[in-house]
Every structure is written in C-alpha cells, then in structure tokens.
Structure 1
Amino acid sequence: MRKAIVIGHSHILCLRAAYRERLDGKTDPAFEFLWLREKQYQAGGPVKQKAGPAALRRDPARGATSQVSGINSKAVRAKIKSTAADFGVICINGFSTASALCGGEAISHADKLAHLTRVLDPNSPLRTWLEFLRPLLPPQTFLLPPPPPVAATQLQGLFPAERIERIAHLPLEPLEIRRSVWKRYCELAAELGGEYGIHFLEPPASVFTPEGLLQEECYGGDPMHGNPEYGFRVMTMLTSVMAEGATAHRVPPTAHRTPRKTQRHPYVGLPDSAYWKQSVADPAPGEVDPVAGVRFKIKPEDKVATAGSCFAQHISKRLRGGGFNFFVTEASATDDEASRARGFYDFSARYGNVYTARQLVQLFDRAFGFFTPIEPVWRRDNTSFCDPFRPRIEPDGFPTRQAVRLEMETHLKAVRRLFLELDVLVFTLGLTECWISRLDGAAYPVAPGVAGGVYDSDQYAFVNFGVAEVVADLKRFFEQLRLVNPKARAILTVSPVPLMATRTDQHVLAATTYSKSVLRVAAEEITRIFDHVYYFPSYEIITGPHAAGGYYGPDRRSVLEAGVDHVMRVFMSRLTESAAPAPQRTGPGSAVDSYFSEMEDLDQAACDEELYGKA
C-alpha cells in the first residue's frame, strides 16, 4: 500500500483526529502525521509560535509560517526518510487566520494585503521552510493552507472565552475582507509552491459557505482552526487527489532542485481591487465593489446636498432614507402630489436637472450675482411662462413674467444658502450635449421649444462639450465654492443613464459612449486637481460587465431598482459613517419623511431629457 506523510503544526491535528477516528485502514494511501510540536521534533524548547494580533500590529510581516528555527531537523529528516512516503502534504500556517478575521483599524486591509507578499521574499520563513522540506519529500507533494476564516458575525458564544481572549478586543472584519485576505495568501503560497514543484490544494468546496468562508459545522475550538469534521472533509479530498495524482498532479522529480528566483514586479502584492479576477470576475455580480482610495466619509450630521442629472435623484432619496442629513434649502409647506410634481425634494433645492458642468457653474454664478442671463423668462404657451433654467418645476407654468422673476429670486436665495452651508455636495454628471444662448452663453437643461421658448437657430446654438471644457467648468466651480465655503467637500458621479436622443450626426449609442467617456475622464482629472473631491463609481457599478446589462429595464436605458440598490449599498458602506437612528433635518418638516418613505418607485425620477424622446 502506498503511504503519505502530512507535516505541520496545529492545523494537522484535526486531520489526524479525523483520520484516526473515521479513515484509518480505509484509505489508499495510508497516512502518517508529523506534528512538529511533539517533543521529539523540538530542538531546545518549544517550536517558535507565529505572531498574534498584538504583535502583528507592530510588524504585520511577522504573521509568517512554520520556521526551521526551533525544529530538530535531524529528527524530522529521519522521520520522513523512515516513512518512505509516496506523497507529501505540507500544512502551512502563513499569515494567521486571526489576522484575516479581525483587526479593524489596528491594521488596514491594504496593509494586510501588501505585507502578505513578504512570503515571496528570498529569506521569508515559508521559503526557508520549503527549501528545507522539499529535498526530503517525494515528487508528488502538496501544500495545504489553513482553514478559511469563520463566517461568524460574533465570536462570543461560539468559542470558549479563553480561546478568543487575545482577539476579543478587536473588531471583526467584514466578510469580504476576511475572504480577500485569505484568498490572497493562498494565491501567494501557490505561487511560491510552484517555484519548488509543489502543487497547492485549496480546501474542498464542502467546507465553504456561499461567501467563501468556513462552514459553522467545521469550526474548531477557536476561530483559527478546523474541527474533526473539517479534517474529515479535507482528508477525503486528499485521498481522492492522491488516487488520481499519478497523472493529474505529477510534478517533475527534479523541480525542487532548481527553484527559480522570486520574480518581483510592480503588479505583485497589490490589493484585490487592482486585479480583474479577484475584484470583478470572482465576486457575485451584486458584490462587486469598485470603490478604492476613499478620501473622506460622510458623517450623519454632515449637511449633504445633491444636484445633477435625474440619476442623482435616487441618491437624494436613499441618503434621506438612510438616516443622513439630506440638506434641503427649498422646501414645500405641504406634502401632496402637487408639490411633488413641482420638483420639491428631487434635489436639495428646486433647480431641477443640472445635466452639465456648464449649468452647475452658471447656477453658482447666478446665485451669487456673477451672471444675469439676458433672457430670464420663456413663454410656455399663449397663457403661461416658464423659467428657462428649470422649465418643468411648475407643471402649468407661471401666469406672468413677473411671477417667474419673483420665484427665481426666492430660488437663487435658497441656492446661495445651499452653497454657503453644505458640508458635502454629491453631483452627478449627466450630459455633454447642451443648448446655449448665442447672446450671453446661458446654458439650458433642454433645447428651446421643447418645454418652453421658441427655437431660433440665430439665437440658440447646440454644443457638445469636450474634456477640456468640462474640466474647466468644474475647476472654476470648485474654486469658487471653496472661496465661499472652505469646508465644502464633493463627490462626483457619472450618470449611467444613456442619452434619450442626440443632436450630433452620430448614432445615439456612439454619442452616449462619447458623452459618458468625456464625463468620466473629466471627473478623474478634477479629482487629481482637488484633494477634497472624490469620484464614486456608480457608472461602473451599473454598466460594468459583471452586471451583464441586468440593471437596465426593457428600454435598455432606465436603471432598475436592483441597480440603484447596488449603487447605494456600496455608497453607504464605503462613503458614510454609521447613520443616526433617526434622520436629522435641515429645512423640510415631517412631511418630507412621509414623502421619502413613499418614493419607492425609482422609475418615477423626473428627467427633462426624456422630453427628447420620439413617439
């Protein structure tokens, strides 16, 4: 009968227990276990232990695997030689499971991932250990990692208090961080094992939860180890692998004699977010999180203002519903269908859709008296008038030109207060196509003649902004905003909603690609100029290949609630601190609470651009 030898520290105990209780005499090969903490394998005292969380905070690189120091190498050699095994299994420890499980602010996720790469260093403990063992073991040798981190949301009650004492004071990491740290270590261990002709084996699928963590029925006496059930599942896998290993897992007999030097390059050791496989291909579509490099987080007390395209209305509603201080400076005295139709609470003020950067900077200029348009009123029909810059806020229009002007003064006063007092502005860039006045350059949300006014090619011009123009407009806006409100911060997004129609000579799909590309590049350029501006990738969440178009409705344009849910789930988890139990108010009264609780039909977002649609 063939033989296999399993070598390791504490992680082989559950394998040994499972084998002795349930598999002894029933497998081919037969297994023997070399537990390095047994007295005969120790040299001059106990085997050196890997660092715990406290030591890890001082030096994250200390979470290294079994070390040759402290081992009676002569006894280990003799045991391996006497076993004359056909297969070898090295149970590695590496970056401790406890360090993947917990830590919080003690050590960042990025630091954990970065320090993991030290296992590839020329003198890393794992490399030293493999160089010692590889010549002693048979050609068909396998690396086995520690169990994945537990999926528990709390440790108390699941494990004895004395077994979690050293980590009980540390907060648990989110499930996705636990998984990514453990997986990254496995990838690096596999890479290093490959240098020595050692095949890496991940634990069997039966030990994992759907989230890629350890099943509760496999929990050991502490969060770092598996139990005999875990050991049984792993041993069953090992037996199966070795049964077919004569062909499937054969390695060159001389592979261990000439390990290649570690190949280090700038793409080694980056966080999961830098790799397509780990951050896009592997996660479930609804778990893709493209956020990285967060510059600040929104606190519950921060006054958060919103503006932009119709997609920004979803952010407005979800912020309010999430218990944050959605800052409103232009509120309605009543909460009824009429006030909702008049654009109250779509955004922080009643400015309607602000699709372009040019509209945004002109809104600021008008609010502070830097720009007064020559044409402040449009005739809507024979009996009513409208505001050219928000033509749909009054569904029936205004009765007189004077009424438009009076309402405009009230509105601009509210906008001025908004810019002066906000803490965070969330602005969604929507379009590059725009209609402007040839008289003074005033930018409109819709073309003259669509919702008001009369189109005259001598008076109005179509423009399609490029990157330089969008960057210039945004740069001027943020410079001016900082002058009147030094504490202001901003989050830029790009609307994933395609164009309803284009006035260019391009196909609407190509025109959409141009528009969104310009806006995305401009947003990136602005974040490189201003440290207090951050880009949030809502566009990527909705349009990325992971979603496979599933976040769009039948018209392939409207964003479904599931897409908005994904966007806001990432937004709230990555860009906000925990919200207060009860929403805070600035402006609107309790009527707004009921309003937002009822605004669940996200397809109702008011969108001026939809007027361009062809019947």
Structure 2
Amino acid sequence: MTDFRTSIAPEHFPFRIHHHSPTLCIGSCFAKHIGKRMELYKFPCLSNPLGIVYNPISIAQQLETIVQKGSTLHSAQLFEHQGLWHHFLFHGSFSSADKEAMLSTLIAQSVRSRSILQAAGTLFITLGTARVYIHKQSRAVVANCHKVPADRFDRKLLSVEASTNVLSGIFEKLKKLNPSLEIVLTVSPIRHLRDGLVENQQSKSTLLVACTQLCQAFDYVYYFPAWEIMMDDLRDYRFYEADMIHPSLTAINYIWDYFKAGFFGEDTLQLLPLIDKVVRAAQHRPFRSASETHQAFLQKQLEEIAKLEQQYPFLDFAKERNVLKAQMV
C-alpha cells in the first residue's frame, strides 16, 4: 500500500534526559514550548531565563552573560525609551522604570542560571533566524528592539561562518564550565514570514548548515530535526494555528513524541503516564466541587500523589497538591 507522506525515523541519541539533572532550554519560542512540556512532566528545566532570543549571536551573548554570572553587565548598557530602561540583549519583561533594580535583576538571574547550567545534563538551543538587527549607533547586534524606531537599525543575514564561529566560541566555554554537558541544536519550525518567504528560506538554510558544521566539529553537539518534522512530515496547514505560521497543539504533541523517543529511557517513558494522570486530575474542573463524588476524587488523587512522591522522591507535586487541597471542603 502506498504511503502518501514522508515521515522521519525517530533518532535515538547516545545519552538520556531524566529527572535527576537539570535541563536548560534557550532560544526561540519553540524552546519555550519544549521547556514548558518538560516542566509539566516534572523535569527540572529552566527555559529562556533571560528571555526569548532568536539569532546565533544574541544566543551566544546571553550564554556568555550566564557563564560570567552577569559580570559583563553594567548600567551604561541600559537605555531609556518610552519611560522605561531597557537592554538590547534581553526581553522586555526585564525592562523597568528603575535602572539599578533592572540591572540587579539581570545579574541575579544570570547567577541563578549559571548554577543550573553548571549542574545541567543537557542544553537545548533553538535557533530561530540568521537575520539580525544591528543598532546603527553602537553597531551591536540586538536581541530585542524594544520598539525603538526601525530607522535606527541595519539588517543583515549572518553567514554560516559567522554563525558557527560565535557558537563554537561559547560551546568551548560551556564545556569548560560543565564537562558533562551535552548540547542539542534545533532550528525552530516557526517561519519568519515578516522577512518574506524567500528570505526565510535563506535564513533557515544558513542555520541548518551551521548546525551540521557544529555537530561535525564537536562530539558533544547533536541535532534534533524539529524543522524537518514540521516542514517535511507535517507538511499540511491543518497542523498550524490560524495564523498559518505557528505549529498547532497537534503538531507540538507530534514533535514531543519524537523528542521522547529520542531522549528518554524506558524508565522515564513508563513514569510519564503516571505524572500525566496527576497533572490532568489537578486540571479537572467539576460542575459541583462540593459533591461527595468529587471530594472522594480529590482524596484519591492526594493519596496517589503521596504514593508517587514516596516511590519517586525526585518528583514534586506541590503545585497539584495545592490545587486539589483548595477544592476540599
């Protein structure tokens, strides 16, 4: 029988992700999706601690900031715009009316992220685009324009060489900080249509070649084919949100299945359904929370949580326990 689709065989990576060591995810919003899914299943995971970031240079600079515990940050790098202080390397969620408080927050987050990175088993880097904005006055590549007028920036497509060079440099520092660290690269399956379809393909192609060269150069760097799964396997608009750009929940779940098959061992795979059952129970919203039936359901779930935490001490269901207890009468 003819198979009217092109599927990708799941790759089994030579290392495993488990609940005993942290994972750090950094990069585009797809890194956030994977990070949130890992957090949902109780993996110790930190996602984009300094904000969403898309291009190789800004990703490397954020990682450098983390490695240096924020020591490279100083108040002269901040600028005021529309009543708030900003930094071109970091997300707007860090922007503040208080300049010194913002700087302190960035440094504290960098220190916290470094301690997690130092203990991490895996670092996931999701590259979104090879096109960068360059601030005309400072000639610095920016991660976030913070609504500064567009005429104050130049735009440029990074070369493969520039992308690999900047990432190679930070990889060596990361490995020195944490010799057991494994690095997984992926190219975001979200197209940057604001650049134009042709320009998006040029950008993604640059990133794909850069990933290939980095995997060949370092034996601790690997590639997860999220872009290929979305473009070549799920090549249908029914797997997209209404904007025709972002993957739907069905697509994210499908990519997550590949992720599980590639990175999780059998023990972890058997544990996930047990975690999922508790998480879903806590998300359940009854018509009558005070009913005898629902109260019995709550008690049963709390007992199940206690049993799982006793059997697997590394799992933390505090959030789910609090949600369930709040419904008890």
- The answer, yes or no, to whether TM exceeds 0.5 is yes
Equivalent residue for 1:377? 78
1:542 paired residue number: 230
Q: Percent identity?
A: 21
The superposition leaves residues 382-423 of structure 1 with CA deviations (integer Å, 9 ceiling, x where unpaired) of x332333224215xx412222221222212212322332211
What residue in structure 1 maps to residue 318 of structure 2?
Answer: 590
1:552 and 1:558 in contact (8 A); partners too: yes
Write the distance in 2 (CA, Å) between the matches of 1:591 and 1:543: 36
Find 2:258's aligned residue among 570, 576, 579.
Answer: 570
**Uncovered stretches (5+) of structure 1, i.e. residues with no partner:** 1-204, 206-280, 329-346, 503-507, 596-615
Q: Is the 8 A contact 1:398 1:404 kept in 2?
A: yes
Correspondence for 2:31: 312
Q: Contact (CA 8 Å) 2:12, 2:262: kept in 1 or not?
A: no
Amino acid at match of 2:80: R
Give, in whole Å, the separation in 2 of the partners of 1:404 and 1:314: 26
Q: What secondary structure sits across from 2:213 in the alignment?
A: helix
Distance 1:525 1:374, change over 3 A: farther
* Matched residue, 1:355: 54
For 2:97, which of 399, 402, 407 is the aligned residue?
A: 399
Aligned 1:520-559 pairs, distance under 5 A: 520-544=208-232, 547-559=235-247
Question: How many Å apart are 1:439 and its aligned residue?
Answer: 6.0
Once residues 352 and 366 of structure 1 are traced to their aligned partners in structure 2, the CA distance between those partners, rounded to angstroms, is 13
Q: Following the alignment from structure 2 to structure 1, what is the Cα–Cα distance between the partners of residues 181 and 321?
A: 26
Deviations 1:578-606 (A, max 9, x none): 324559899x99349989xxxxxxxxxxx
| SS of equivalent to 1:364 | helix
Looking at structure 2, the residues matched to 378 and 289 of structure 1 have their Cα atoms a distance apart, in angstroms, of: 46
Counterpart in 1 of 2:299? none
The answer to whether the 8 A contact 2:187-2:226 is kept is: yes
Question: 1:538 & 1:456 partners in 2: Cα distance?
Answer: 34
CA RMSD of aligned residues (A): 3.1
1:282 aligns with 2:3: yes
Deviation at 1:324, TM superposition (A): 2.5
- 2: CA distance, partners of 1:590 / 1:488: 29
Q: For the residues of structure 1 that align with 2:134 and 2:76, how far apart are their CA atoms?
A: 11
State the one-letter code of the partner of 2:65. R
User: Is the counterpart of residue 419 in structure 1 residue 117 in structure 2?
Assistant: yes
Q: How far apart, in 1, do the equivalents of 2:258 and 2:16 lie?
A: 13
Tell me if 1:469 matches 2:162.
yes
Whether contact under 8 Å (2:75, 2:100) holds in the other structure is no
TM-score, structure 2 as length reference: 0.75
Larger radius of gyration: 1
Q: Deviations over 1:508-565 (max 9, x none)?
A: 0001101111111111111111111110111111111553343222322111011101
CA spacing shift, 1:547–1:455, aligned 2, 3 Å: closer
CA, structure 1 residues 455+589, in 2 after alignment: closer, same or farther (shift >3 Å)? farther
**Could you tell me how far apart the structure 1 residues matched to 2:313 and 2:109 are?**
19
Separation of aligned partners in 1, 2:60 and 2:177: 14
Q: CA 1:370–1:466 in structure 2 vs 1: closer, same or farther (change >3 Å)? A: farther
Alignment of 1:20-169 (within 5 A): none
Find 2:180's aligned residue among 482, 487, 492: 487
How far apart are the structure 2 equivalents of 1:356 and 1:585?
Answer: 38
Deviation at 1:290, TM superposition (A): 3.6
Q: Which runs of 5+ in 2 are unaligned?
A: 276-308, 324-329
How many Å separate the matches in 2 of 1:468 and 1:481? 20
Aligned counterparts of 1:592 and 1:523: Cα–Cα separation in 2: 39
- Deviation by residue 1:479-521 (Cα, 9 ceiling, x = unmatched): 110011111111111101111422xxxxx00011011111111
User: 1:505 maps to what in 2?
Assistant: none
Q: What does residue 101 of structure 1 align with?
A: none
| Cα distance change, pair 290–516 in 1 and its aligned pair in 2 (3 A) | farther
Residues 377 and 453 of structure 1, relative CA distance in 2, 3 Å threshold: farther
Write the distance in 1 (CA, Å) between the matches of 2:135 and 2:75.
Answer: 9
Distance in 2 (CA, whole Å) between partners of 1:461 and 1:421 is: 38
Does the 8 Å CA contact 1:495/1:539 hold for their aligned counterparts? yes
Measure, in 1, the Cα distance between the counterparts of 2:154 and 2:320. Answer: 39
When structure 1 is superposed on structure 2, of 366-375 and 482-491 the one drifting more is 366-375
Residues 486 and 467 of structure 1: CA distance in aligned 2, closer, same or farther (over 3 Å): same
Compared CA separation, residues 442 and 419, structure 1 to 2 (3 A): farther
1:430 matched to 2:128: yes
Contact 2:58 2:142 in 1 (8 A): yes
Q: Distance in 1 between matches of 2:247 and 2:76?
A: 35
CA distance in structure 1 between the aligned counterparts of 2:228 and 2:234, rounded to whole angstroms: 10
Counterpart-to-counterpart distance in 2, 1:446 and 1:409: 18
Pick from 513, 538, 543 the counterpart of residue 201 of structure 2: 513
2:13 counterpart of 1:294: yes
Establish whether residue 499 from structure 1 lines up as the match of residue 195 from structure 2.
no
Residue of structure 2 equivalent to 1:195: none
Superposition deviation, residue 433 in structure 1: 1.3
C-alpha contact (below 8 Å) 1:385/1:401 kept by paired residues: yes
Tell me the equivalent position of 1:322: 41
Residue equivalent to 2:86: 386
Looking at secondary structure, tell me which structure has more helix per residue. 2
Which fold has the larger relative contact order, with Cα–Cα distance below 8 Å and residues 6 or more apart in sequence?
2
Within 5 Å, which residues of 2 pair with 1:1-12? none
State the distance in 1 between where 2:92 and 2:202 align: 27
How far apart, in 2, do the equivalents of 1:468 and 1:593 lie? Answer: 50
Q: Which residue identity does 2:110 align to in structure 1?
A: L
